[in-house]
Amino acid sequence: MIELDKNRIPGHIAIIMDGNGRWAKAKGQPRAAGHVQGVEAVRVVTEECVRLGVKYLTLYTFSTENWNRPVEEVKALMELLLKNLEDEIFMKNNVRFRVIGDRYRLPREVQDKISEMEQSTAHNDAMTLVLAISYSARWEIARACRQIYIDMQAPCYSGKTEDDINERFVASYMQTSFMPDPDLLIRTGGEQRISNFLLWQIAYAELYFCDTFWPDFGAEELQRAIADYQNRERRFGKTSEQIKEQA
């Protein structure tokens, strides 16, 4: 157990869950076994985040680029997703469930299950667990631009000019508009890139990369990432002296 400052727990943690396939390969198992074990890691990390007081947890579950994977692997992932979208972990931990991404590319039964879980957990308030499914940041930004263009033609927007399209306005069109931007972005599996994940939202997030494959990422690994976060000074473009004066 790593000692953490309970007053400096990140309010929103985003995770790129990488390494399921390599975990399975290292153990001589099929890639699907890595995804199955990855689900257990999601349970462990979700419960630990609730215990620590994290308010939002966003998990990069399936990117738009993942549709290019072998058909059988995609099918297995969809079946695994459907099987594990159950309310036990959410109701037991008072967790609200949300999804961001192009859900209409998902199988109909997965879409229906997502809607069911979002509705049944809508009043849970300990934490919000967000799955990014069929998601990419560039897709999200392009979608927001298209919708802004359409809306600006509507009569209710008459009188507005290009000066009204500021950062806050654009952010309101993002799929994440219901939650704050991430404070901490974690990527497991040894790679050090963002992979088209929450590009708009992580402008000031602290980045943490570790070699641990996602199926082996547990409560202690999460605590280690948060401890690293707590040892950093978040300046948001200001100087250290300005931060101290505001403290």
Q: Do residues 131 and 110 make contact, with C-beta atoms less than 8 angstroms apart?
A: no
Instruction: At 10, list the tokens.
Output: 């990140």
With cut-offs at 50, 70 and 90, classify the pLDDT of residue 202.
Answer: very high
Instruction: Judge whether residue 25 has pLDDT over 80.
Output: yes
What's the pLDDT tens digit per position in 92-132? 999 999 999 999 999 999 999 999 999 999 999 999 999 99
| Residue 16 confidence (pLDDT) | 98
- Domain enclosing residue 42, as ranges: 7-135+181-246
Residue whose C-alpha is closest to residue 113's, from 82, 88, 149: 82
- Maximal CA-CA distance, the chain: 63
Instruction: Judge whether residue 74 has pLDDT over 70.
Output: yes
Residue 140 lies in a domain: no
**Count of domains in the chain?**
1
**Global pTM value:** 0.92
| Residue 244 confidence (pLDDT) | 56
Residue 175 lies in a domain: no
Backbone angles phi, psi at 187, to 5 degrees: -125, 125
pLDDT: which is higher, 122 or 86: 122
With cut-offs at 50, 70 and 90, classify the pLDDT of residue 158.
Answer: confident
| Residue 58 confidence (pLDDT) | 98
Residue 47 lies in a domain: yes
With cut-offs at 50, 70 and 90, classify the pLDDT of residue 141.
Answer: very high
Residue 206 lies in a domain: yes
Residue whose C-alpha is closest to residue 39's, from 135, 176, 131: 131
Other Cβ atoms closer than 10 A to 122: 11
Catalytic residues: 18, 66
Instruction: Judge whether residue 8 has pLDDT over 60.
Output: yes
| Residue 122 confidence (pLDDT) | 96
Residue 151 lies in a domain: no
Instruction: Judge whether residue 163 has pLDDT over 90.
Output: no
| Residue 246 confidence (pLDDT) | 56
| Residue 245 confidence (pLDDT) | 56
Query: Exposed/middle/buried for 34, CB within 10 Å: 0-12, 13-18, 19+?
Result: buried
With cut-offs at 50, 70 and 90, classify the pLDDT of residue 240.
Answer: low
* 56-81: average pLDDT: 92
pLDDT: which is higher, 17 or 243: 17
Q: Do residues 232 and 210 make contact, with C-beta atoms less than 8 angstroms apart?
A: no
Please state, rounded to an integer, the average pLDDT across all residues of the chain: 92
Q: Do residues 123 and 94 make contact, with C-beta atoms less than 8 angstroms apart?
A: no
Strand ranges across the sheet with 56-63:
95-100, 127-135, 56-63, 12-16, 184-187, 206-209
Residue 153 lies in a domain: no
Instruction: At 118, list the tokens.
Output: 């979002």
Range with lowest mean pLDDT among 74-83, 182-191, 218-227: 74-83
Percent residues over pLDDT 70 in the chain: 95
Partnered with residue 14 across adjacent β-strands are 58, 185
Partnered with residue 110 across adjacent β-strands are none
Residue 171 lies in a domain: no
Residue 142 lies in a domain: no
Domain CATH for 112:
3.40.1180.10
| Residue 88 confidence (pLDDT) | 77
Tally: H helices and E strands in the chain? 9, 6
Tell me the DSSP string of 182-198: PSEEEE-SS-----SSS
